[in-house]
Amino acid sequence: MIDLHEIIGLVAAVLTTASFLPQVVKTAKTKDTSGLSLSMYIIFFIGVLLWLIYGVLINSLSIILANIITASLTLYLLLMKLRYK
C-alpha cells in the first residue's frame, strides 16, 4: 500500500508537472524557442537531475517520478532550443 504522504507527493507531482506542459506543447507546436532562456533551462535541468538523485537517495517515489518526467520534458525543450535557435 502507498502511504498517505506518498499520495500527497504524487498529487503534488502531477500538479507541478502539469503546469509545465503548456510550455512544452506550445514549443512543440510553434517551434518558437525565442522566449526560452538556454542558460536558465540548463541550470533548471541540472537541478532536476540532482532532485532525481536526491529522490533515489531518500527513496521517495514521488520525487523520483516527478523528476524523471520533468527532466525528460526539460531535455526536450533544451534540444528544441538548440535545434531552432
Task: By CB under 8 A, name the binding residues for a second copy.
Answer: 4-5, 8-9, 11-16, 18-19, 22, 35, 37, 40-41, 43-44, 46-48, 50-51, 53-54, 57-58, 60, 62-63
What's the closest the beta carbon of residue 70 comes to a second copy, in angstroms? 9
What's the closest the beta carbon of residue 37 comes to a second copy, in angstroms? 7
| Residue 35 per-residue DSSP state | T
Between CA 34 and CA 85 the distance in angstroms is 7
What's the closest the beta carbon of residue 22 comes to a second copy, in angstroms? 6
